[in-house]
Amino acid sequence: MSGTVNFRGYALRELNALDRLVGLLSRLPGVGKKSAGRMAYHILDGDPSYARLLAEELAGLHQAIRRCGVCGSFTETDPCPICSDSSRDRSLICVVERAQDVRVIEESGEFRGLFHVLGGLIAPLEGIGPGDLSIGQLLNRLREGKVRELILAVNPTVEGDTTALYLQKLLKDFDVEVTRLASGLPVGGDLEYADRLTLSRSFRGRVKL
Amino acid sequence: MSGTVNFRGYALRELNALDRLVGLLSRLPGVGKKSAGRMAYHILDGDPSYARLLAEELAGLHQAIRRCGVCGSFTETDPCPICSDSSRDRSLICVVERAQDVRVIEESGEFRGLFHVLGGLIAPLEGIGPGDLSIGQLLNRLREGKVRELILAVNPTVEGDTTALYLQKLLKDFDVEVTRLASGLPVGGDLEYADRLTLSRSFRGRVKL
């Protein structure tokens, strides 16, 4: 074990093992220096078998998991279990921004079709155009002619709206219905705390009872 | 890599590498299932060298770090750099509950003496008595006769108060001053949000300007 961490310019000086671990943990999303410290001490205080198991999983992660050649989600087998599940509805494709969105939707149990991971959203200000997303692969899947509906499950943000609009225009010559997840008040939410845009969308998308 | 995680009854069924990683990460303090998922995808999406480095640090952690034989804090060398630093004030010992408290106090830069880690606080309801703490070692250090002041830096909680009271009584025959960190309003805090006990302590501990 070297005494120096050479990871992307992070603290190139000599550090002890604990400081190196804290430094690495604090690069995780939502983890600041304090919580990284708490985690490191928790690991150190705890059963060494936990640290060993976590180390093994991390070391093998990128070998074990790849991208599905069909939908682009993370998987151990290619095609992924969802794409190769014959019981799923192949006439429905749910288009998501990132691979983790597949997990969120699968956990809701609401959707029994297939997925397509765009790998991002159109964001001109960040230099991300349609060519940077897996839109070509999506068109190839649609050309097979089995897809009846494309559900755009992109976030209700400016980038999500832009991407949805782009796909809607692009797909108008395809014989496929393009829909988008409803936007409105979250269940259990409170009118008082809803922002103007969410309220406006929930009015426009109101449903008959 | 086995497909099953055998860690303390956690999900003994077949899981894929990603689920196993999420399961392990969600055992860290302050990390729920959602943040563990976010972390796992962040690691997967990112540079494999990060996962490798983190794995290495975790695998080597318990070999690299031990307890200091003098003060009980985590260290790579025994005695620890603080105990063996001749420039520190050996007449002052700051008594803390856990090894991580040493780090917090060191980072404040406020204290230039030595430390003593109790390894817990007296908590009769949880079955933790004085015999479970490193109080014997503390008395041995005091018997060397170099210590002038013992600063109890235990949390202002019921367990902290109990432990402070116990130590105060135990040490009244030693020629050593026993003090405790001031309790009161946090800097930048607001009277409006201070609880009754904190306010009461800040009144009792008021200082002359």
Apex CA A129: angle with CA A123 and CA A130, to 5°? 120
Lowest mean pLDDT: which of A196-205, B105-114, B165-174? A196-205
Query: First-to-last CA distance in chain A?
Result: 65
pLDDT of residue B80: 93
Give the pLDDT score at A75.
92
CA–CA min distance A209, chain B (Å): 34
Q: Does one domain contain both B108 and B176?
A: yes
Q: Is B4 helix (H, G, I), strand (E, B) or coil?
A: strand
Give the model confidence (pLDDT) of B9-67 as tens digits: 444 345 689 999 999 999 999 999 989 999 999 999 899 999 999 999 999 999 999 99
Domain region containing A156: 67-208
For residue B16, the model assigns a pLDDT of 85
CB atoms within 10 A of CB B21: 28
In terms of domains, do B140 and B106 share one? Answer: yes
User: Which of A8, A34, A38, A58 is the mutation pick for testing B, counting most B CBs within 10 A?
Assistant: A58
B161–chain A nearest CA distance, Å: 23
Give yes or no: residues B93 and B123 share one domain: yes
Question: Which residues in chain B are closer than 8 Å to A60, comparing Cβ atoms?
Answer: 1, 17
Q: Tell me which chain B residues have a C-beta less than 8 angstroms from the C-beta of A24.
A: 50, 53-54, 57
Within this chain, do residues A25 and A127 fall inside the same structural domain, yes or no?
Answer: no
State in Å, rounded, how far the first CA of chain B is from the last one.
65
Q: Which residue has tokens 């998987």?
A: A75
- Domain final residue, candidates A63, A85, A104: A63
* pLDDT tier, A9 (very low <50, low <70, confident <90, very high otherwise): very low
> What's the pLDDT at A24?
95
Distance CA A68, CA A82 (A): 10
Same domain, A79 and A180: yes
Report d(CA A146, CA A70) in Å as an integer: 14
In this model, does residue B196 exceed pLDDT 90? no
Question: Given an 8 Å threshold on Cβ–Cβ distance, is A62 in contact with B54?
Answer: no
Q: What distance in Å separates residue B168's CA from the closest CA in chain A?
A: 28
**CB contact A12 to B (< 8 Å):** no
Residues A146 and A179 in one domain: yes
Which pLDDT score is estimated for A89?
Answer: 95
Residue A14's pLDDT band, with cuts at 50, 70 and 90, is: low
Name which of A29, A65, A98 is nearest B18 (Cβ-Cβ). A65
d(CA B105, CA A202): 51
A2, pLDDT greater than 90: no
CATH no. for residue A104?
Answer: 3.40.1360.10
Q: Which is nearest to A124 in space by CA: A165, A158, A172, A154?
A: A158
Q: Which of residues 99-138 of A touch B (CB under 8 A)?
A: 99-100, 103
Closest by alpha carbon to A135, among A103, A113, A163? Answer: A163
B53, B64, B98 member nearest A5 (Cβ): B53
pLDDT bucket at A187, cuts 50 / 70 / 90? confident
Q: What is the 3-state secondary structure (H, E, C) of chain A?
A: CCCECCCCCCCCCECCHHHHHHHHHCCCCCCCHHHHHHHHHHHHHCCHHHHHHHHHHHHHHHHHCEECCCCCCEECCCCCCCCCCCCCEEEEEEEECCHHHHHHHHHHCCCCEEEEECCCCCEHHHCECHHHCCHHHHHHHHHCCCCCEEEECCCCCHHHHHHHHHHHHHCCCCCCEEEECCCCCCCCCCHHHCCHHHHHHHHHCCCCC
What is d(CA B50, CA B57) in angstroms, rounded to the nearest whole number?
Answer: 11
Q: Are residues B103 and B21 in the same domain?
A: no
List, in order, residues 6 or more apart from B61 with CB less than 8 Å away: A17, A18, A21, A43, A44, A48, A51
Q: What is the dihedral of CA B189, B192, B193, B199, to 10 degrees?
A: 80
**Chain A partners of B103 at a C-beta cutoff of 8 Å?**
37, 41
Give the pLDDT confidence of B128-164 residue by residue, as tens digits.
Answer: 999 999 999 999 999 998 999 999 999 888 999 999 9
Instruction: Produce one character per residue of A91-110: b if its CB has 16 or more CB atoms within 10 Å, e if not.
Output: ebbbbbbbbbbbbebeeeee
- What average pLDDT score do residues A111-132 get? 94
* The pLDDT value given to residue B14: 52
Domain co-membership, B103 together with B127: yes
Give the model confidence (pLDDT) of A35-48 as tens digits.
999 999 999 989 99
The count of other CB atoms within 10 Å of the CB of residue B99 is: 23
Residue with tokens 């004030």: B89
Helix B158-170, helix B135-143: angle, nearest 10 = 40
How high is the mean pLDDT of chain B?
88
Rounded mean pLDDT, B101-129? 92
Distance from CA of B136 to the nearest CA of A (A): 21
Q: Which of B63, B81, B100 is the last residue of a domain?
A: B63
pLDDT at B7: 45
- The residue among A61, A67, A107 with the most chain B CBs within 10 A of its CB, best to mutate, is A61
Q: Touching check for B62 and chain A: CB below 8 Å?
A: yes
Considering the domain architecture, whether residues A120 and A203 belong to the same structural domain is answered as yes
Domain count, chain B: 2
Residue B101 predicted with pLDDT over 60: yes
Can you give the pLDDT at residue B4? 46
pLDDT-based confidence at B109, cuts 50/70/90?
confident
